[in-house]
Structure 1
Amino acid sequence: MKLGNPFPQIAHDFATMGVSGLARTIVQALLIGGATGVVIGLFRHLNNIITHWVVRSVTEHGLSDSLVACAVFFGLLLLAVISVLLLRIEPLISGSGIPQVELMVKGRLRMNWFRVLVCKFAGALTALTGGLSVGREGPCIMMGASLGVGVGRLWHDPKAAHEPRFLVGGSAAGLGAAFGAPLAGMFFAFEEMKTPLRVPMIITCATTAFAAMYVMQAIYGFGLVFPFGSRPMLPWQSWWLVPVVGVAMGGLGVLYNIMLIRMTLWADKTKMLPMHLRVVIPFMCAGLFLYFYPTVLAGFGITALQLADIALPLTALLLLLTVKMLFSCASFATGVAGGLLMPILFMGAMAGACVTSALLLFDMVTPEKSVIILILCMAGLFGSSVRAPLTGAFLMLEMTGAYPNMVFIIITAYIAAFVADKMGCEPVYDSLRRRCVIEGKIKRPRYKPRRPQRVASGSPGGVM
């Protein structure tokens, strides 16, 4: 493919924008990034407060008390009912929201930005509070995109609200704020969303991502998501770990994608489980895990930081990884408002603990290398499943601060993505986007304005 000389295109973009256009683009991007930083920061802050309160309450009162058991059961049932109601109010919030946003960028879907913002905020917070194995990043990306559309509409420019620049810029800000990783947000906008590299889009994504990060840190003070501490550079004698981990995570990513898509499609097609019952089941499973296997639940189980130091048998780690993978697929298949990326990263950390444990059995590595193996596995599984290796690599760099190992992390992510591609596995969001088209019956030409068309309840369609 001939790339040509980019400088004439850059000069043409600047000439077309002019000084006033450049200033308007920057101001709009600052508004999108600032608003996204405030909203996503509030979302993360509330999620942390609620999670700590739930963990402390359950720990203090104990699970043997019948009153506590009843409170847990009815609390989870109430959260399930709220999730169902929110899905009925706005079906577009189902799932992570990333495939829906990608269809909006292509002009094949529209949304009521304020309703999506409110329902996605409440729906994702409800799913996370209920202990479901879903992530916050997909909802944050969709909330950022909705805020981008909102800024476009409030700008009173009839064309602004429909420009992909507002959706993509808001998405970059959402991912950057969700993970504290603005560079990864930019790479996501161009690598995963396949946005053309044009000057207005580059300026918008860079400004929104860093503005969201700055505002969020200034107000809420979030730091590194995975502060692993000492992250020494991988010595040259251990470079063989990079291809080994890359190939292993490539295969694991293929397995995860197949399980997730097949379980989701089965949930879509089966008539045995209506939507309200389908949503209730994972909440009840979370309650059972709380009693019998709390290790798999966020807040109660082992964190990624603990996996780097804890000494668990390989069989226990494999069981934890298997249960986490099944619970993550089941949680997402219900259609609740929740993402995939954080569970993918956490499963990558579990896989890294398994790899480290297996290598320690044969004295092939030392315990000091466990941190870098975990980081390599997290980046590799992301690259394999999402097929966005640069995004996954810079996500891990910004979330852990492991910049001395940047080259190894990037190579591992690319090897994993290459292996998954050669195994014939489709990227997870490509599969989910095609599911949106099938389930939502999104066909050309575009929907006509002001004619609402809802899809079947529980499927990830949209409203005009």
Structure 2
Amino acid sequence: MSNPIHSTSAKSVLPMLAMRGLATGLCAGCVVGLLRLSHDRAAARVALWLEEWREVWWTVPIWFGVLVALAVILRRIVREEPLISGSGIPQTELALAGRLSFTWWRVLLAKFLGSWLALFGGLALGREGPSIQMGGAVGAGFHALWRPAAPHALTGSPYVVAGAVAGLAAAFGAPAAGVLFAFEEMKSRRDTSLIVAACASAIGAHLMIRIVFGMGRILPFAGFEAPPLSSFWIVALEGAVFGVLGVGYNKTLLWLHDREAGQTLIPDRWRALPPLLLAGCLALFAPLLIGGGESLIIFVGEHDVALKTLILLLAFKYLFAQYSTVAAIPGGLLMPILCLGALWGRLWAELPVSALAAHGLASGSVQPYVLFGMVSYFAATVRAPLTGIVLVTEMSGTYTCLPGSLLAGLIACKVANLLHCPPVYDSLKERIRL
């Protein structure tokens, strides 16, 4: 019997794929774990250093000098390896579709360095998209090892899929969401061999992150209480509204990308400088706004925030997150999307929920609506509702909010589809020059 791996018996294929998927997951998890650990430690040191800038003024010119150097280095890296620009998810999907080929070790090294530098500079980018691309590159390396006769034939490669799954699982600490992402967003074929490889890879990455690197949940929100069923009409309405907001995000992002790509005012080698300088200013005056947004999600989820402050945080984070994606800088969209969803969700809860609770018509707790906002905003922009639902649940540990997340996410996705707005990664794929 023939099979897509080798001319071995069908009985031996699945165990072999499971072992290879596990190996891919362990290696990809190690790469992502190193990225997370090294960046978190470096960012913490810089934050402590910049906290005293008013007393130690000379730290400011030094830091901005570092940002100028980062801008030059980032542009050089992207020119040397253009496939690492942006999140990397569209490139991985194109490779799996047979429309793009790459040298796995070049992409892996360049993406690691480029993403690390962009995150270190404080840009509002996530490490999850880069982790998926780096995981896919690790999988491509194993593909070349185990399929030496066709090392560059990556179409539907189970090892590239397994690596991408491991990348998301390790970046978010969400193995089940990683598997779902492969089939819902990346449109991988749904056969037993690929499912086995993906699941084994997710397990390997999760073990690496949890046991070797000792990393726990990104969002420790396990204490959230779900709203009562009598409030679910508000959850459904939130999903519908956030479907529209997600479409707005996609259209704004693509408009900004097209305008920036066509501008001639800033020379190519300095294209990364404006967003980095903006990140430097925010690091001094509003450090909560820099980075992907994990700390900001925790802040709005666990603290009382004045309405005016919430609106300002949302406005600045929205603009900064959009602007950080220009200039082909390596960095992901997923965590900023979740952060914006959390901010919109908290604002949503502050407006109707608080007013209705005062009249006994709804639950007065605002925290669940932060989670529903994350799920529905993700579902509307990425158009992968099941992945978003499971992802937020795994990240936060709030399993009691799962029914509300299902309702909000599915409605948001349906509304976005009715508005005929393509998923964000489909639109970005169309803009990649092959």
TM band (smaller chain): over 0.9
**What does residue 388 of structure 1 align with?**
384
Partner residue in 2 for 1:24: 16
CA contact (8 A) 1:160 1:166 kept: no
Q: Is the 8 A contact 1:260 1:333 kept in 2?
A: no
| Amino acid corresponding to residue 180 of structure 2 in structure 1 | F
CA distance in 2 between partners of 1:299 and 1:208 (Å): 25
Matched, 1:349 2:345: no
Q: Is 1:230 matched up with 2:223?
A: yes
Pairing 1:80–2:71 present: yes
Distance 1:189 1:419 in 2: 23
Question: In the alignment, does 2:45 pair up with 1:49?
Answer: no
Show CA shifts across 1:406-426 (max 9, x none).
122122111111111111211
**Pairing of 1:418-429 with structure 2 (within 5 A):** 418-429=414-425
SS at match of 1:117: helix
User: Post-superposition shift, 1:23?
Assistant: 2.9
1:189-219: per-residue Cα shift (whole Å, max 9, x none)?
A: 0000111111111111111111111122111
Residue 363 (structure 2) pairs with residue 358 (structure 1): no
Match for 1:335 among 319, 328, 333?
328
Q: Tell me the alpha carbon deviations over residues 9-31 of structure 1, each in whole angstroms, 9 at most, x when there is no partner.
A: xx999x98612322321222111
2:257 equivalent in structure 1: 264
Q: Aligned-pair distance for 1:397? A: 0.8
Question: 2:407: which partner in 1?
Answer: 411
1:143 match: secondary structure:
helix
Q: Distance in 2 between matches of 1:317 and 1:191?
A: 33
Other structure's SS at 2:271 match: helix
1:322-377, Cα deviation, whole Å (9 max, x unpaired): 21111111111221100000000111111111112213552437786222111100
The alignment yields a C-alpha RMSD, in angstroms, of 2.3
Aligned position for 2:56? 65
Whether contact under 8 Å (1:295, 1:301) holds in the other structure is: no
How far apart, in 2, do the equivalents of 1:300 and 1:155 lie? 39
* Structure 1 runs not aligned, ≥5 long: 1-10, 443-464
Q: Sequence identity, in percent? A: 35
Deviation at 1:156?
Answer: 5.1
**Which position in structure 1 is the counterpart of 2:171?**
178
Moved more, 177-186 or 316-325: 316-325
Query: 2:146: which partner in 1?
Result: 155
- The answer (yes or no) to whether the contact 1:84–1:279 under 8 Å persists in 2 is yes
CA distance in 1, matches of 2:328, 2:61: 26
1:462 corresponding residue in structure 2: none
Determine if the alignment matches structure 1 residue 39 to structure 2 residue 31: yes
Match of residue 250 from structure 1: 243
User: Aligned partner of 1:402: which letter?
Assistant: T
Distance 1:116 1:187, change over 3 A: same
Which one is further off, 424-433 or 312-321? 312-321
CA distance in 2, matches of 1:178, 1:95: 16
Structure 1 residue 154, shift from structure 2 partner: 2.3
TM-score (norm 2): 0.93
Against the structure 1 CA distance between its residues 95 and 17, is the aligned structure 2 distance closer, same or farther, given a 3 Å change threshold?
A: farther
- Flag as ranges the 4+ runs of structure 1 deviating above 6 A: none
**Equivalent residue, structure 2, for 1:452:** none
Show the counterpart of 1:3.
none
Q: Find the counterpart in structure 1 of residue 88 from structure 2.
A: 97
Q: Structure 1 residues 342, 300: closer, same or farther in 2, change over 3 A?
A: closer
Aligned to 2:160: 167
Question: Structure 1 residues 18 and 234 mapped into 2: Cα distance closer, same or farther (>3 Å)?
Answer: same
Structure 2: gaps spanning 5 or more residues: none
Instruction: Give how far 1:169 is off.
Output: 1.3
